[in-house]
Structure 1
C-alpha cells in the first residue's frame, strides 16, 4: 500500500487519537506529521501487515517522545531557577537577617510558653508531641499555647505592617 493511500485512510483517526492524548490541536497536528514522516522512512524498507495498528503505535511513540523532551526542557528550566534562587545577593542576605531579627523581637513580646511553642514547631520543625514533651506540657495544653501564640504573633506582624505603610 502506498503512503498516500495510508494517509488518506488514517489521518483523521490518528489526529483524533493524538488529540485525545495531548488535548492540544497544534500538538496533535505536529504529531500526525511526525507519525507519517516516520512511516515514510520505514514503509519503503518494510512490509507491514497491520498498518493501522502499526501507525497508532508509531503515533503513541511520537507522543511519548514529545512528552519526554518537554519534561527535560521543564526540568532544565527548573534546575536553572533553583540554581539562580540559591545564589543570593548581599542585599537579600541583609533583608533576610533583618526579617529574622524582627521576628525574634516580635516573639519576645509573647508569653514564654507561646514563644517556646512557636520556636520549637515553626522554626525548628518539631512534632507537637516532641515539643510538648520538651516543655513538659500535656499535648492539648501545648496546642493551646501554640494556637494562641500564632494568633498573637500574626496580630503583632499585621500591626507592624500597618505602621510601616503609614510612614
Structure 2
C-alpha cells in the first residue's frame, strides 16, 4: 500500500486519536504530521501487513515522545469548528460540554487504561491491534479496558445522580 492511500484512509482517525490524547487541536495536527513523516522515513524498511495498526503505533510513539520532551502537555480548551445551521448554539454548547466531560473522565484514568480505551472504543481497533501498538499482552489489555470502562461509567453515573 502506498503512503498516499494510507494517508487518505487513516488521517482522520489518527487525528481523532491524537486529539483525544492531547486535547489540543494544534498538537494533534503536529503529531499527525510527525507520524506520517516517520511513516514516510521507515515504511520501506518494514514489511507491514496491517498499515492502520502500524500507523496508530507510530502516532502513539510520536505522542509519547512529545510528552517526554515537554514533561507535561499544556491542555487547552478544544476549538469548536462546526458550522451547521441546523444546530442551535445551546445544543452545540451542551454537546461540547458533554464531550469535554467525557474526555475529562477518560483523562482521569491511569495512562494504560486511557490508551486502551481510546484505541479500542473510540477508534475500534481490535484487541490484537491495540495490544501490538501498546506492546502488551492481550489479556492485560482486556483487563485495562474493563477497568477503564468501569471507572468511566461510574463517573458518568455519579455526575448523573448529582445533576438529579
TM norm structure 2:
0.45
By relative contact order (CA 8 Å, sep 6+), the higher-ranking structure is: 2
TM-score for both structures, normalised by structure 1: 0.45
Q: Between Structure 1 and Structure 2, which shows a larger proportion of helix residues?
A: 1
